[in-house]
Amino acid sequence: MDNLVQMEWANAAGLWVGFIFTLLIFSALLGDHLLARLAQYVLVGAVLGYAVVVTWQSILASDVVTSLRTAPQEKPWHWIPVLLAVVMTIAGLERIFAQGRAPSRRSATWGHVLRALGAIPALALVSIGAAVTLVGAVQGTLTPQFLSAARSDLTWGAEGPGPITSILVLVLTVTALLFFVIDADRHLEQQPIWIQRPVRVLLWFGQRALWLAAGALFARLLASRLSLLAAELAHWSYTLQSTTLGQMLERWWRIVIGA
Amino acid sequence: MQRRASARTNWLFVLLFLVALIFVGVTRLDGVPMATLLRETGFEWVIILAGVALLLGVVNVIWFHIRRILKGERDWMLSLALLAVLTAVVGTGLLSPAGMVSPLLEWIFDALIAPGQAALYAMLVFFMAAAAFQYLRVGRRGGTWMLLGFLLVLLVQTPFDAAALGLGGTMGRLADAARWFLDAPVMAALRGVLLGSALALLVTGCRFLLGKI
Amino acid sequence: MTTTLCPHCGAPNRIGATFCNRCGADLRAPDTDADRLQDATVSPGETPSSISASGARPQGVEGEQPWLDPDFLGADDVPFEPEEEADTLGGITPPTPAPRLVSGVQGLLEPLRIAALPEERTSSVPPTSGESLFNAPQMRQVRQWMMEDAFVGIEVQPATSSTPKLWLPWIFLLMGMGILLPLLWSPPPLLGEPIRWEGVESAFQAIDALPPGALVQVLWAYDPATAGEMELLAAPVLRHLQKRQATLDVVSLLPNGPATARRLFASLAEARAPELLEIPVQSTIDVRFLPGGAVALPSLGSVRSRLAVVLAAQAEDVQHWLEQVAPLNRAAVVAVTAAGADPPLRPYLQSGQLVGLVSGFDGAYHYAQFLDEPLTPAELNRTRFQFTVQQYGALTVVLIIALGNFALLLRGKQEHG
């Protein structure tokens, strides 16, 4: 089968399959219809299937599994993740296949036991993920960004626009942070007026700063999406120009526009 | 009984979370001999479990579509197409001796996956135009400010030939203003957002732990 | 046309109608005399909801409308049970099948079953012994209200006409024409140089300063979905790394990442300029996939690299690297990202966590300029396409925004004038 695909005609077939598939996906712009949905379902199926293959092979190629296959007794602690994975798999499969079914008394008992066992590796995974995220956020974002904002590159007596920019950056950082964490109606309701007024002014600045930033972000996003469309158009125009049909269409078009 | 079971699960999670915090903290320490070994071994295990979890997720999707087909629900034929393609790709990848780099799998990637994903994302610009029509309006709350920020950056990032249009000097000054705009006010506002979200994460974690201990 | 009133909801129906137009009640059944509701009591063992509004079991329950039977269970219907199956709970009886919250709503659909209600009073008696809270006409009114659309007591203004209607097909058409027509008609080029944002030059210098053979970690965080833009960026950066004879350790967190990387490396190898052929480059580049997303990243912290290059379509991937790996191996980080990921990463560039930031088609253009290499015909074609689409795409979007604001202005004038 692999030899078949390496033949020249397979490349041409792949090109046209890809082109037709692209047109079907793009046809979703015209509205939700069967062919566009079919293309989306096929894409999802292919992506999921590919993910399964890549994941399975990466698990098999991992150091843990490789060492167990070559020398199972050498590092016995490597059996722990394998055991946990097996337990999680069985418990997960039981849970998946039990959906929508009324359980019998016996299967409910087993299900309960499996779920309790399967919860351990699942919760361990979630816990590690949460811990990693939390520690990373503190070490990699909160601390360095706070220190950078606090330093603010302000030097007394410096001339030029530098100090003004530094002050502006500091003020906007603080006001944006305040706007992010303070709900004016809820938090300021009970406060005296001499607190409410200045805080509301700061929140006003923070909100405007965020709106400006959102506009800038939108502009950069637009450039990004235009790049994707441009690349797609460039790819297909370049690819189809080398085909007979593409050359015919190009000749016809030049006649139409009088070029 | 349900409450007891979920209470047990909550406490197990809190315990595992604490252990995970200590584990992650230790692996980030400099000068601790075991840190590197713990990190390499521990995260190797995590990668294996995460891979298995991903595979279970795919099985869940497969089962969902099988149930849809068996019940004859709406779009069951599309589910059948999805499963057929999935099975073909998995079969190709797992049965071929070359595995991930087998020519047939590469062909599927080049003919279906790559063009399909690229086309899907290339369509986004049309929806962005619709969003711009809807939200970048002077009368809308915040619309004027967003429009200002948007126009300044858009004008400068678009590759016009400013000299040919007779705007050489103006565009140069505008470009400097845009660079300053992105590096100062926009950066400051987004730093505020970063700090806010990191703080929120920290507070949530502490609240979870202190609420349970 | 003469009409008859539905005994359940009071809606008028034409004479001879089989089912009520509003609530679907069977109009052929003899009138159950709504006045009997006043004398209705809850008999022992019967839940309150099992009594229909007319005070008696609906007619034809066993035959034509079995779903009206409060104890009716459908073909594959199961009583709702909590997630942890109750019959494993050491003798405690499972909850009774959920009584219908909405009964007497007749029709072709099965009545809505929400959940098991806590502690139904199975032998409850209405508060006023033997009398219901409402009389028959009041009950009919209540049912009518429940079946009508909700409304508020004040007069509701019609949907505001000050917002111009969004008609997607027109916007899509305008956008499509604005981009395709210039490409098809090749207007005179008014293309200039895009702006050079901060961070491109420092990224170039960071890579240029690498000694030969230096280990560089590469996080491949994009797949074919965003390859259109990312390859504009990744190609010059990877060519530069190859020129510096760096040893690359490439890792991806996306299943499609390794295949995407292999293709780009293959095309770079094919397109290598003759003068670069003497420079030895890494013979094989093995791209690994790590499942688990950001959780898997700390495992890369043990790699002592000189530099890390993050090729990412989203800012989050660069953030994850800066949070999970950079604090461990303390290698300098260069981010090569899509244009949309640029603003959220500016704080990291300003704080020094990133030594360089190359983003968007403009960043790719300027990085290639720094490399000072002649562009191949394919690259020239791609660049021309990019610039033309950016220019006319931006103009079209500005036009669309102007149309939206203009329409808003017009509507505002019409309303006030």
User: What would the pLDDT profile of B72-123 be if each residue is shown by its tens digit?
Assistant: 988 899 999 999 999 999 999 999 888 788 889 999 999 999 999 999 999 9
pLDDT tens digit sequence for B16-35: 898 999 999 988 887 777 78
Residue at A249: amino acid letter: L
C392 and C402 together in one domain: yes
Non-local (6+) Cβ contacts of C386 within 8 A are A227, A230, A231, A234, C232, C361
Instruction: List the structure tokens of C407.
Output: 């329409």
Interface of B with C in 87-146 (CB under 8 A): 100-101, 106, 109, 113-115, 117-118, 120-122, 125-126, 128-130, 132-134, 136-139
Q: Is C393 left (phi over 0), alpha (psi -120 to 50) or beta?
A: alpha
**H or E element, residue C288:** strand C288-289
Which residue of B40, B160, B202 to mutate against C (max C Cβ within 10 Å)?
B160
Residue C228 included in any domain: yes
Is B110–A92 a contact, with Cβ atoms under 8 angstroms apart?
no
Percent of chain A having pLDDT more than 70?
Answer: 90
Q: Domain range spanning residue C400?
A: 175-188+375-417
pLDDT of residue C104: 39
Instruction: List the structure tokens of A100.
Output: 């929508």
pLDDT of residue C32: 47
Residue C193 included in any domain: no
Question: C47 to each of C35, C41, C70, C78, how far by Cα in Å?
Answer: 21, 11, 9, 19
Q: What is the dihedral of CA A69, A71, A75, A78, to 10 degrees?
A: 10
A126 and A37 together in one domain: no
pLDDT of residue A1: 59
Residue at A220: amino acid letter: R
pLDDT of residue C27: 80
pTM of the model: 0.78
Percent of chain B having pLDDT more than 70?
Answer: 91
Residue A129 included in any domain: yes
pLDDT of residue C285: 77
Residue A244 included in any domain: yes
Non-local (6+) Cβ contacts of C154 within 8 A are none
Residue C339 DSSP class = G
Cα(A160)–Cα(A157) distance, integer angstroms: 10
Number of domains chain C contains:
3
C338 and C223 together in one domain: yes
CA A9 to chain centre: 36
Average pLDDT, chain B: 87
Which residue of C88, C89, C171 to mutate against B (max B Cβ within 10 Å)?
C171
C18 and C107 together in one domain: yes
SS3 (DSSP) at C337: strand
Last residue of a domain, one of A39, A61, A83: A61
C181 and C84 together in one domain: no
pLDDT of residue C62: 44
Cβ contacts of B117 on chain C, cutoff 8 Å:
223-225, 256
A167 and A255 together in one domain: yes
Is B157–C194 a contact, with Cβ atoms under 8 angstroms apart?
yes
Residue B112 DSSP class = I
Tell which wins on pLDDT, B1 or C356.
C356
Give burial (CB, 10 Å; 0-12/13-18/19+) of C22.
Answer: middle
Is B47–C192 a contact, with Cβ atoms under 8 angstroms apart?
no
Interface of B with C in 171-210 (CB under 8 A): 175, 178-179, 182-183, 186-187, 190-191, 193-194
Cα(B133)–Cα(C167) distance, integer angstroms: 10
Residue B50: pLDDT above 70? yes
pLDDT of residue C124: 44
pLDDT tens digit sequence for C114-152: 444 444 444 444 444 444 566 777 777 777 666 655 544
Spatial CA neighbour of C193 closest among C409, C404, C362, C20: C362
Residue at C370: amino acid letter: F
A257 and A205 together in one domain: yes
Cα(C74)–Cα(C77) distance, integer angstroms: 5
Cα(B31)–Cα(B179) distance, integer angstroms: 42
Residue A157 included in any domain: no
pLDDT of residue C222: 96
Cβ contacts of B187 on chain C, cutoff 8 Å:
343, 346-347, 350
Residue A132 included in any domain: yes
- Please answer whether residues C412 and C197 qualify as being in contact, where contact means their C-beta atoms are separated by less than 8 angstroms: no
pLDDT tens digit sequence for C164-185: 555 788 899 999 999 998 888 7
Residue C161 included in any domain: no
Last residue of a domain, one of A116, A151, A186: A151
Spatial CA neighbour of C230 closest among C318, C310, C311, C289: C311
Nearest CA of chain A to the CA of B176: how many Å?
13
Is A136–C320 a contact, with Cβ atoms under 8 angstroms apart?
yes
Residue A174 included in any domain: yes
Residue A259 included in any domain: yes
Radius of gyration of chain A (CA): 30
Nearest CA of chain B to the CA of A113: how many Å?
12
The DSSP-derived string for C12-80 is EEETT-SB-TTT--BTTSPP--GGGGGG--PPTT--GGGS-TTSSPPTTTTTT-GGGSTT---TT----
Interface membership of B88 toward A (CB under 8 Å): yes
- Please answer whether residues A77 and B114 qualify as being in contact, where contact means their C-beta atoms are separated by less than 8 angstroms: no
pLDDT tens digit sequence for A114-154: 888 888 899 899 999 999 999 999 999 999 999 999 886 66
Residue C42: pLDDT above 50? no
C205 and C343 together in one domain: yes
pLDDT of residue B112: 94
Q: Is C117 left (phi over 0), alpha (psi -120 to 50) or beta?
A: beta
pLDDT tens digit sequence for C278-310: 656 666 678 999 998 999 999 999 889 999 999
Residue C167 included in any domain: no
The least confident of B55-69, C44-58, C347-361 is C44-58
SS3 (DSSP) at A29: helix
**H or E element, residue B151:** helix B143-157
Cα(C369)–Cα(A185) distance, integer angstroms: 52
SS3 (DSSP) at B104: helix
Cα(A116)–Cα(C88) distance, integer angstroms: 14
Cα(C322)–Cα(B114) distance, integer angstroms: 29
Interface membership of C231 toward B (CB under 8 Å): no
Nearest CA of chain C to the CA of B160: how many Å?
5
Tokens 């491109």 locate to C200
Mean local confidence (pLDDT), C178-198: 80
Cβ contacts of A8 on chain B, cutoff 8 Å:
none
Residue A197: pLDDT above 60? yes
- Residue A38: pLDDT band with limits 50, 70, 90: very high
Residue at C63: amino acid letter: G
A123 and A83 together in one domain: yes
- Greatest mean pLDDT among A108-117, B129-138, B176-185, C207-216 lies in C207-216
**H or E element, residue C252:** strand C247-252
Residue C21 included in any domain: yes
Residue B57: pLDDT above 70? yes
User: Which of B46, B60, B90 has its CB closest to that of A49?
Assistant: B90
Interface membership of B154 toward A (CB under 8 Å): yes
A138 and A172 together in one domain: no
C342 and C332 together in one domain: yes
C183 and C208 together in one domain: no
pLDDT of residue A4: 57
Cβ contacts of C86 on chain B, cutoff 8 Å:
1-2
Residue C250 included in any domain: yes
pLDDT of residue C115: 41
Mean local confidence (pLDDT), C64-92: 45
Residue C186: pLDDT above 80? no
**H or E element, residue C357:** strand C356-359
Residue A187: pLDDT above 70? yes
Instruction: List the structure tokens of A110.
Output: 């087993």
C362 and C392 together in one domain: no
Cα(A70)–Cα(A62) distance, integer angstroms: 12
A46 and A13 together in one domain: yes
C67 and C41 together in one domain: yes
> What b/e readout covers C269-284, taking b as 16+ CB neighbours within 10 angstroms?
eeeeeeeeeeeebbee
pLDDT tens digit sequence for A49-82: 999 999 999 988 888 888 888 888 888 888 899 9
Cα(A239)–Cα(A16) distance, integer angstroms: 10
- Please answer whether residues A25 and B119 qualify as being in contact, where contact means their C-beta atoms are separated by less than 8 angstroms: yes
Is B107–A215 a contact, with Cβ atoms under 8 angstroms apart?
no
Tokens 């103006």 locate to B170
Residue C238 included in any domain: yes
A139 and A176 together in one domain: no
Interface membership of A102 toward C (CB under 8 Å): yes
C359 phi/psi in degrees, rounded to 5: -140, 145
Last residue of a domain, one of A124, A151, A178: A151
C192 phi/psi in degrees, rounded to 5: -120, -170
- Please answer whether residues B81 and A42 qualify as being in contact, where contact means their C-beta atoms are separated by less than 8 angstroms: yes
| Alpha helices by DSSP H, chain A | 2-5, 8-26, 34-60, 63-70, 79-97, 105-136, 143-151, 161-181, 184-187, 193-241, 244-257
A129 and A175 together in one domain: no
pLDDT of residue C246: 93
Which residue of C88, C290, C359 to mutate against A (max A Cβ within 10 Å)?
C88
- Residue A191: pLDDT band with limits 50, 70, 90: confident
- ipTM, two decimals, is 0.90
Residue C170 included in any domain: no
A43 and A89 together in one domain: no
Residue A5 included in any domain: yes
- Please answer whether residues C203 and C357 qualify as being in contact, where contact means their C-beta atoms are separated by less than 8 angstroms: yes
pLDDT of residue C326: 95
Nearest CA of chain C to the CA of A199: how many Å?
25
Tokens 């979007």 locate to C397
A168 and A238 together in one domain: yes
C381 and C366 together in one domain: no
Residue A26: pLDDT above 80? yes
Instruction: List the structure tokens of C43.
Output: 């008999």
- Residue B165: pLDDT band with limits 50, 70, 90: low
- Residue C216: pLDDT band with limits 50, 70, 90: very high
C298 and C386 together in one domain: no
pLDDT of residue C46: 41
Query: What interhelical angle do A193-241 and C342-351 show, nearest 10?
Result: 110
A122 and A202 together in one domain: no
Cβ neighbours, 10 Å, residue C165: 9
Q: In this complex, which chains have at least 3 CB pairs below 8 Å with chain A? A: B, C
Residue at C94: amino acid letter: P
Residue A156 included in any domain: no
C267 and C135 together in one domain: no
Number of domains chain A contains:
3
pLDDT tens digit sequence for C317-352: 999 999 999 999 899 999 999 999 999 999 999 999
Q: Domain range spanning residue A13?
A: 1-61
SS3 (DSSP) at C251: strand
pLDDT of residue B53: 94
A214 and A235 together in one domain: yes
Residue at A114: amino acid letter: L
